[in-house]
Structure 1
């Protein structure tokens, strides 16, 4: 399955009949099993239905960082992003790709 960023936004946890998705480096994960974290009011809800690579690398929950732009990230931040990616790969099923 391939989703645009706009389509991905529909999977932000606000509709209980839909799964919750988060994209990292263009890979979309179904994080519904982590609803307490990614659902509305959860500590990581800002990432739900969005491409979150930059924010994860920067360990940021700031709106302006929740995107896929990796320009200017330090080597350390890229390492942090890779660690997040490994955690997602181990914990959540891949459901598709973000359309470029």
Structure 2
């Protein structure tokens, strides 16, 4: 499935009848099984319904970092992002891409 960033926002956990999605490097993961983390009030709910690549790379929960932009990231931050991507791959199914 392909998602625009606008469509992805619908899967932020605010509607209990819909799954919760987080995108990492443009790939959309269904993180519904991690609802306690990504659902409303969870410690990582800020990432839900968004591409969280930059925030994950920077280990940041700042709203301005929750975006797909990898511009200006250091080699170390890219390594951190790649580690996060592997964790997501091991734990959650990929259900689409952000276009």
d(CA) in 1 for partners of 2:96 and 2:85?
A: 15
Q: TM-score of the superposition, structure 1-length normalised?
A: 0.98
Deviation of the 1:20 alpha carbon: 0.1
Aligned residues: 99
Secondary structure (helix, strand or coil) at the match of 1:80 reads: helix
| 4+ residue segments displaced more than 2 Å | none
Length-normalised TM-score, structure 2: 0.99
**Quick one: distance in 1 between partners of 2:92 and 2:33?**
8
CA distance in 2, matches of 1:74, 1:15: 36
Task: Please tell me the root mean square deviation across aligned C-alpha atoms, in Å.
Answer: 0.3
Alignment deviations for residues 27-74 of structure 1 (CA, whole Å, 9 cap, x no partner) = 000000000000000000000000000000000000000001001111
Gap regions ≥5 residues in structure 2: none
Residues 9-31 of structure 1, C-alpha deviation per residue, up to 9 Å, x if partnerless? 00000000000000001000000
